[in-house]
């Protein structure tokens, strides 16, 4: 996973709550054996509606998805995170996330930002007024800023998770930070333990 210090870019106002993982990436996409190409299935059912926000030209190229409460509820599938990332997004801002979805985000490098609903609504309004407005997610300071709209807000994240993002550590890389201790243990344990 790549290190994430600052995510900066435009946003997409996904004014929907209780978005489940099956809506993010339909179940038929889970049959793929590759870990690529999931962006084509991102919100596939909703994409049939030409007025769906991700079909609107003014939001093309956005890197921050701004969603409603209870984003990522439903079944556990990393595919939902992969689809969002492969769709060009580096962060998702919402008032709340499913715990499993949030955990999948942190293990795959997609920044889940929890902000109070009134601030999310203010960001939606700012994006809709000016789709080119810049949103900055600062992982070192744990702050979201939309300078042109005068929005500044801190967001919670536990220090170990913040460290994972800042250093680009997935589960394997995190384990390998203890390689010396693992090697010491392996070299000192009795041979009969295999």
User: What would the DSSP string read from start to end of 2-22?
Assistant: ---SEEEE-EEEE--SS-BHH
pLDDT of residue 75: 86
Residue with tokens 């900055």: 136
Among residues 87, 151, 166, the alpha carbon closest in space to that of 118 is found at 151
The residues, any chain, with a CB within 8 Å of residue 164's CB and separated by 6 or more, are 1, 106, 170, 174
| CA-to-CA dists, residue 160 to 5, 29, 92, 113, angstroms | 14, 32, 19, 15
CA 43/CA 172 separation, integer angstroms: 30
| CA-to-CA dists, residue 54 to 42, 61, 88, 187, angstroms | 10, 10, 11, 54
Per residue of the chain (194 residues), give pLDDT as tens: 999 999 999 999 999 999 999 999 998 888 888 888 999 999 999 999 999 999 999 999 999 999 999 999 998 889 999 999 999 999 999 999 999 999 999 999 999 999 999 999 999 999 999 999 999 999 999 999 999 999 999 999 999 999 999 999 888 887 888 878 777 888 888 878 76
pLDDT of residue 175: 81
pLDDT of residue 50: 93
Strands 111-114 and 135-138 come out as unpaired
DSSP code for 40: G
pLDDT of residue 193: 75
What token pair was written down for 45?
A: 């059912």
pLDDT of residue 41: 94
Residue with tokens 């492969």: 86
Is the sign of the CA dihedral 40, 43, 44, 49 positive or negative?
negative
pLDDT of residue 194: 66
């Amino acid at each position: 996973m790549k290190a994430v210090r600052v995510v900066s870019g435009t946003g997409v106002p996904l004014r929907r709550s209780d978005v489940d993982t099956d809506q993010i990436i339909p179940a038929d996409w889970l049959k793929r054996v590759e870990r690529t190409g999931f962006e084509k299935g991102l919100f596939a059912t909703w994409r049939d509606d030409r007025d769906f926000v991700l079909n609107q030209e003014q939001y093309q190229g956005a890197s921050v998805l701004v969603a409603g409460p209870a984003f990522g509820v439903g079944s556990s599938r990393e595919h939902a995170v992969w689809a969002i990332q492969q769709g060009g997004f580096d962060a998702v801002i919402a008032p709340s996330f499913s715990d499993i979805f949030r955990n999948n985000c942190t293990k795959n490098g997609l920044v889940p930002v929890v902000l109070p609903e009134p601030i999310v609504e203010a960001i939606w309004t700012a994006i809709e007024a000016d789709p080119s407005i810049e949103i900055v997610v600062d992982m070192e300071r744990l702050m979201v800023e939309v300078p042109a709209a005068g929005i500044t807000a801190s967001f919670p994240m536990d220090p170990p998770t913040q460290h994972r993002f800042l250093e680009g550590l997935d589960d394997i890389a995190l384990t390998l930070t203890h390689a010396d201790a693992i090697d010491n243990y392996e070299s000192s344990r009795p041979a009969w333990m295999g």
